[in-house]
Amino acid sequence: MGNGNTESRLHIKELKEQFRNQKMISVDDFQAFYTELFGSIKKNTVSSYIYQLKKRGVIRNVSRGQYAIRGAKREEGNEYMVITMDISKSTRTDYKEFNRLLQEKIEKINEAIVRIYGQHRAYHISQGDEIQILFPFQDGLGSLMMLTLSHLSPYEVRYGISIGEVDGELKKNSWEMNGPIFWNARDQLEAVKKKSGYSGRIISGYSETDQMCNHLLPLINSTIDRITEKQWEAIRYELLGVELEKTLESIGISKTSYYERLRASSLEEILLSFRAIFDLMKARREIN
């Protein structure tokens, strides 16, 4: 009987109707909604209602203090992923030299993105050693990550990835944009900034899927940690799709050595693991 009483006080039908066209619902929105129904209501009670709504699968977390109605219709292909990276600087490189080298690396990555993906979305630098890209979610996460890391080597990278919808106009430089998808990527990056080596986290607002993916990522990153500079070089040529003869001539090794470097890097296993994360994210609405 108590459960039924709680159910009736949540006013789920009215809540869905109230926020049917609202992408994000704040705690203040819930407070106003229930205040209008009951005249006055304590914040702790509203927090309890939010918890009950999440437990019943009525709403989901979008970001800190922001929620959305589950099951809302979405247009296909309008989701993006934000990758925000922090690059560990080399202590042997002065600041100006580091920025020059980083800019060169970013330009090469962006050229490769246009050539490989046909996308004009690009990485941009901010705060000296941070880079960010806004990229369509339908394109592969793993190959983009490994292409990026192979160009950034020997710098180690920490990253935060967020998947979701973009509010507002798309701009060429994603640092000029704002919204939950960007805040979430930043939060994930901040969560791993104190860690050494390659490390990162991913978020989509679907807690169970996010948890599964973030259990997989440390395993992927520990494998990436073991990749040598020579292996990164082979990975870079492989992902760029350079003809084998030109690759062997440029690197100055035999065909056998080239494929041995790729095998030792575990590139195929890393890409398959990233693909598993990508597939989980695509199916996250059915999982949660």
> Is 264 a domain residue?
no
pLDDT, residue 92, reads 55
Q: Which domain holds residue 164?
A: 79-205
Handedness of CA 10, 14, 19, 20 (dihedral sign): positive
Whether 51 and 103 share a structural domain: no
Q: What is the predicted pLDDT for the residue at 103? A: 93
CA atoms within 13 A on the CB side of 115: 11
Alpha carbon distances (Å) from 15 to 10, 21, 69, 129:
8, 11, 9, 44
Q: Is 90 helix (H, G, I), strand (E, B) or coil?
A: coil
Final residue of a structural domain among 205, 237, 254: 205
In this structure, the answer to whether residues 60 and 127 fall within a common structural domain is no
CATH number of the CATH domain containing 59: 1.10.10
> Cis peptide leading into 154, omega within 30 of 0?
yes
Amino acid 1: pLDDT: 37
Residues 22 and 107 in one domain: no
Identify whether residues 64 and 90 lie together within a single domain: no
How far apart (Å, rounded) are the C-alpha atoms in residues 277 and 248?
A: 32
Find, among 184, 241, 195, 249, the residue nearest to 222 by Cα. 195
What pLDDT does residue 3 have? 47
Report field, pTM of the whole predicted structure over 0.85: no
- State whether 174 and 135 are in the same domain: yes
Strands 130-136 and 124-126: antiparallel
What does 168-228 look like in DSSP terms, one character per residue? S---SSGGG--SHHHHHHHHHHHHHTTS-SSEEEEE-S-HHHHHHHHHHHHHHHHHHHT--
268 part of a folded domain = no
Question: Which helix (H) or strand (E) covers residue 87, if one does?
Answer: strand 79-88
CATH of the domain at 122: 3.30.70.270
- How many residues make up the chain in this entry? 288
Of 176, 205, 234, the domain-final residue: 205
Answer yes or no: do 65 and 84 share one domain. Answer: no
Report CA Rg, the chain: 22
Final residue belonging to a domain, choices 15, 43, 69: 69
Residues 186 and 93 reside in one and the same domain: yes
Q: Tell me, yes or no, whether 181 lies in a domain.
A: yes
- Spacing of C-alpha 236 from chain mean position: 22
Q: What string of pLDDT tens digits covers the 288 residues of the chain? A: 344 455 678 888 888 888 877 777 888 899 999 999 888 888 889 989 998 888 887 887 766 677 888 765 444 447 899 999 998 765 556 778 888 899 999 999 999 999 888 878 999 999 788 999 999 987 678 999 999 999 999 998 999 999 998 877 888 899 999 989 999 999 999 999 888 789 999 999 888 899 999 999 999 999 999 999 999 999 999 999 999 999 999 999 999 999 999 999 999 999 999 999 999 998 887 776
